Amino acid sequence: MIAISRPARLRCGAALALLPLLGGCVAALAVPLMTATGILTERKRTRAEVVAALPAANTAALAESASPSTQMTTLTELPPPSGAFAPAQGPWRDFAAYARERASALTAGRPGSSALLTSESALLFQPRTRPCSGREAAVAIDLDPGTGLFSPDASGQAPAEAAAAAAELREAGVIVLWVSQANANDVAGIAEALRSSGLDPTGRDPILLVRNEEERKQVLREEANETVCVVAIAGDRRGDFDELFDYLRDPRLETAFDAQLGAGWFLVPPLSDADAPDAISAGAPPDDDAGR
């Protein structure tokens, strides 16, 4: 049994007495672990631990691939360095640059907010964003073309700019999240499409897919932001940033959120052929004015 001196007991008691005065998340992050021998600093989470906490449909596959293993190779010379890729261009370049800058700020300990709107934003029509719970930076890239669903059969070769942006972000330590309204049962096909198209050639990125017919991409993005800090979102329509835009009756109200474009939200070309029959399915929100 370890004996603790009276002064040490008083110091521990005083620290514990402060816990109720702190918010739940603040208390968990700001107060270090107390032990009989002193104070331990918070341990940095590994990438595997972060990914395991995300609502990813391919979490099991990622955990298996992270397990140490030895494989024989037929290579006769070393491959080029992992950073040997062409830089992203156009809106993808801006997306990657913004996310890298925000990731650097988080690494340096500077607080910041995510790219996700708060629930009050829809009522006030003001771009207020959610705080970050996690210290690890992540980006969300929407796979769905327009209001349809991403189809592995229609994906083909991904735009080189998109693949380059994803590669740059991985190299910078940013977690790349692929998001779709597609069902989680289709995760194997979608994962293979991401690999073969060049978007995720190593199959290491978390894929966020809905788990039932009632679930929405909005829920997936918000759940992910509880584990990581979603600093930027890329999509081909504003509804990929927040579902608020799917229900606006007056399109002019969209301009209230224009400040977010280029500052967390990035409009990019579709990642798959939106005109392909297999790429489109019923995924649009209900329109009460249809046929009027």
Tell me the DSSP string of 139-155: EEEE---TTS---GGGT
Query: Which of 80 and 90 is assigned the larger pLDDT?
Result: 90
What does the block give as tokens for 68? Answer: 């140490």
Give the pLDDT band of residue 153 (cuts 50, 70, 90): confident
Round to the nearest angstrom and report the end-to-end CA distance of the chain: 79
Sign of CA dihedral 227, 231, 235, 237: positive
Ranking 17-21, 134-138, 220-224, 237-241 by mean pLDDT, the lowest is: 17-21
Residue 36 CA to chain centroid, in angstroms? 38
What's residue 272's pLDDT? 75
Q: Each residue of 26-71: pLDDT tens digit?
A: 333 333 443 443 444 457 889 999 999 999 999 999 988 765 444 4
Question: Rounded to a whole number, what is the largest CA-CA distance in the chain?
Answer: 79
Most confident of 131-135, 255-259, 280-284: 255-259
* Domain range 47-65+84-279, CATH architecture: 3-Layer(aba) Sandwich (3.40)
Residue 262 φ/ψ region, left for φ over 0, alpha for ψ in the -120 to 50 degree band, beta for the rest: left
Sign of CA dihedral 284, 286, 288, 291: positive
**Is residue 243 packed enough to be buried (19+ CB in 10 Å), middle (13-18) or exposed (0-12)?**
middle
Tens of pLDDT along 159-210? 899 999 999 999 999 999 999 999 999 999 999 999 999 999 999 999 999 9
Q: What is the DSSP string of 159-210?
A: PHHHHHHHHHHHHTTPEEEEEEEEEGGGHHHHHHHHHHHTSSTTS-S-EEEE
Q: Could you tell me if 140 and 177 are in contact, meaning their C-beta atoms sit under 8 angstroms apart?
A: yes
Domain spans of the chain, in order of start: 11-40, 47-65+84-279
- What are the strands, taking DSSP E only, across 118-166? 129-131, 137-142
Predicted local distance difference test score (pLDDT) of residue 205: 98
Q: Report which of residues 282 and 24 the model is more confident about.
A: 24
Q: What is the pLDDT of residue 187?
A: 97
Mean pLDDT of 90-108: 95
Q: Residue 256 — pLDDT band, cuts 50, 70, 90?
A: very high
Sequence-separated (6 or more) residues with CB below 8 Å from residue 56: 62, 177, 206, 207, 208
Its pTM stands at: 0.75
Residues paired with 234 in a beta bridge: 141, 266
